[in-house]
A = this chain, B = another copy of it.
Amino acid sequence: MSSQDIFEKSLRTHKLSLTQPRQAVFDALQHHKSLTMSELVKSCENFDRASVYRTAELFEKLGIVVRIPTGWKYRLELGEAFLEHHHHATCSTCGASIALPEDPALEKRLRELAARRDFTLTTHQIELTGTCAGCATNS
């Protein structure tokens, strides 16, 4: 089942129309792995800003996209149905973004932590900040 199929099925399941703006937003997110809101609006310049915003909000509710907090802005990425769940470490010296190995134990621990506050976890984000190997040796 292709990403496109998963996308279309997700809309159909919720009785939502597959429209041009929605397809454009989905395509933009597939081509660029992650986008800020203004980048997304620019990528969909044939369509109205309001539609892009409404679509982004809708997709987030459906789990098609997730918001990744990066400092004080955020970026949009396709959700777990399309991309492997993962986290990143960002080097504050060179700006490199390092993908982290999966850690089921960590994920489990987070679920337990949430459960202690009677919180039902739908998703989570982890953002590590520090210095990568290269920058650590060169300083």
Q: Chain A: residues with CB nearer than 8 A to chain B?
A: 67, 69, 71-72, 74, 89, 91-92, 98, 100-101, 103, 105-106, 109-110, 113-114, 116-133, 136
Q: Chain B's nearest CB lies how many Å from the CB of A38?
A: 14
Q: How far is the CA of A104 from the CA of B74 in the complex (A)?
A: 28
Q: How far is the CA of A74 from the CA of B28 in the complex (A)?
A: 26
Q: Are B74 and A67 in contact (CB under 8 A)?
A: no
Contact pick for A132, options B119, B124, B128, CB 8 Å: B119
Q: Are B128 and A110 in contact (CB under 8 A)?
A: yes
Q: Are A114 and B127 in contact (CB under 8 A)?
A: no
Chain B, Cβ-Cβ closest to A100: B113
Q: How far is the CA of A123 from the CA of B131 in the complex (A)?
A: 10
Q: Are B136 and A117 in contact (CB under 8 A)?
A: no
Q: Chain B's nearest CB lies how many Å from the CB of A117?
A: 5
Q: Are A125 and B122 in contact (CB under 8 A)?
A: no
Q: Chain B's nearest CB lies how many Å from the CB of A65?
A: 12
Contact pick for A121, options B110, B120, B128, CB 8 Å: B128
Residue pairs across A and B with Cβ atoms less than 8 A apart, 11 shown, are: A67-B71, A69-B72, A71-B74, A100-B114, A101-B117, A119-B130, A119-B132, A120-B136, A123-B129, A125-B129, A126-B126
